[in-house]
Amino acid sequence: MAGRGVRQAVGWWLRGFARPAALTFSFALPAAAAQVMGNCLGAETTAATGDSFVDVLFFPDTAMPCKTFHSGEGCTRKNCKKIHDQGSSLLTLLGFLKGARKTMDICVFTITCDEIAEAVLEAFGRGVKVRVITDDGQAKGKGSDIQKFIDAGIPVRDDNAYTYMHHKFCVIDKKTLLNGSFNWSRQAVVGNAENLVIHKDGPVVRRFEEHFEHLWKKYER
């Protein structure tokens, strides 16, 4: 009863005050944040002018691509379970890597997919300047392609820390960004639900390139 009496007394006391008007808040975005938000919101408009472009790839694919078929030789195997069409997300990703002309800055946690590694090595072999940042633990893991890169002469740096270097992005020719949840592994290609967002030009790409340079210096040993 004592508790009920207290609640009633408080209620009577509060009734003596007018109900406050609805509260409103206003704030201004920092200039940099406003610019980035404006570019993102306007991506659909600016895409038509070539100023920026945004697309997204989703995984998993139904299967890995058939190397024989996509080499141009044609696949003659009966009941081949590999992909023969051009519509897979992995083939689209490989197309971006094979289209690199000058630079390829890779910052990815796990790199174990041989098909992706081969595209990187092919780009390096035709003169593209490739740099790789990865997680030190994953670099030493089973199936890692990092040693292939090192043996080929590609400069590789890792975090050498107890924490993870968990990024998964790549900047091609300083103007195309591939970024998302997608690790460069077969499990990510045909097993996991993953995404890979593609940006061309614009402030988002520049910010990732700047961050790559920051990490490249940070992990120098």
The pLDDT tens digits of the residues spanning 9-34 come to 444 444 444 444 443 333 343 444 34
Whether residue 2 is contained in a domain is answered as no
Whether residue 24 is contained in a domain is answered as no
Nearest to 115 by CA among 209, 193, 58, 190: 190
Whether residue 139 is contained in a domain is answered as yes
Q: What is the CATH number of the domain that holds 70?
A: 3.30.870.10
pLDDT tens digit string along 154-213?
A: 999 999 999 999 999 999 999 999 999 999 999 999 999 999 999 999 999 999 999 999
Catalytic residue among 102, 140, 166, 214: 166
> 42 or 84: whose pLDDT is higher?
84
Nearest to 208 by CA among 164, 177, 166: 177
For position 82, what pLDDT does the model report?
87
Whether residue 68 is contained in a domain is answered as yes
Number of domains, the chain: 1
**166 tagged catalytic:** yes
Whether residue 41 is contained in a domain is answered as no
Whether residue 15 is contained in a domain is answered as no
- Where in the sequence is the domain holding 126, given as residue range(s)? 52-218
Whether residue 34 is contained in a domain is answered as no
Whether residue 67 is contained in a domain is answered as yes
For residue 143, pLDDT over 50 is answered with yes
pLDDT tens digit string along 64-116?
A: 998 777 666 778 787 888 888 778 999 999 999 999 999 999 999 999 999 99
Catalytic residue among 167, 168, 199, 200: 168
**84 tagged catalytic:** no
Burial of 47 (0-12, 13-18, 19+ CB in 10 A): middle
